[in-house]
């Protein structure tokens, strides 16, 4: 609801028999203007059905096991994504060693927190861990570049849609 719609709604409510007073309308308008974004974010979070990204952790590692000898001792990026309910705001934490990392999706592992025998890549505030699922990916340089290209395409699509409105 924009300012004009709010003004029209409150005017209609003040003119209605048994409606609100002008002072009440002024308080409601001030409250709406100050808290509109928080209210909108809360409604969006309550209306989501699926999981959302809560956290991303990553580190660069050296591959020590592989089916192919030429892949041994090659750098890989290990990326762990925490998925959770109700659209909690995601945050990104990186490993202290922030070298550029390569990427190939070698394995994908979806695990529920209660069955997780591996520690998270980085410790952090995780909220309700019993509601979290973790997706762990391993990238070599080629697959990482492919992933970054796709993410760039997604970003371009979102930008074009938000500029059109």
What is the average pLDDT score of the chain?
Answer: 73
92: helix, coil or strand?
strand
The predicted-structure confidence for 6-41, as pLDDT tens digits, reads as follows 899 999 999 999 889 999 999 999 999 999 889 888
- In angstroms and rounded to an integer, the radius of gyration of the C-alpha atoms of the chain is 24
Q: What share of the chain is helix, strand, coil (3-state, %, to 5)?
A: 45, 20, 35
pLDDT at 99: 35
Residues 6+ apart with CB under 8 A from 158: none
pTM check: above 0.75: no
Beta bridge partners of 98: none
Q: What is the pLDDT of residues 86-130, one digit of tens each?
A: 544 444 444 444 333 333 232 333 333 333 444 444 334 444 445
Query: Token pair of 36, please?
Result: 């509109």
The reported pLDDT for the residue numbered 165 is 55
């Amino acid at each position: 609801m924009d300012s004009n719609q709010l003004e029209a709604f409150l005017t209609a409510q003040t003119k209605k028999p048994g409606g609100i007073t002008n002072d009440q309308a002024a308080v409601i308008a001030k409250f709406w203007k100050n808290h509109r974004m928080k209210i909108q974010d809360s409604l969006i979070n309550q209306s989501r059905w699926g999981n959302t990204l809560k956290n991303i952790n990553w580190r660069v590692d050296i591959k020590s096991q592989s089916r192919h000898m030429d892949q041994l001792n090659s750098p890989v990026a290990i990326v762990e994504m925490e998925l959770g309910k109700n659209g909690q705001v995601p945050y990104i934490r990186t490993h202290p060693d922030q070298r550029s990392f390569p990427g190939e999706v070698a394995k994908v592992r979806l695990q529920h927190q209660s069955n997780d025998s591996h520690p998270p890549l980085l410790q952090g505030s995780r909220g309700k861990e019993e509601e979290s699922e973790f997706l762990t990916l391993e990238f070599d340089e080629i697959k990482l570049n492919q992933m970054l290209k796709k993410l760039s395409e997604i970003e371009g699509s979102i930008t074009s849609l938000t500029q059109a409105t």
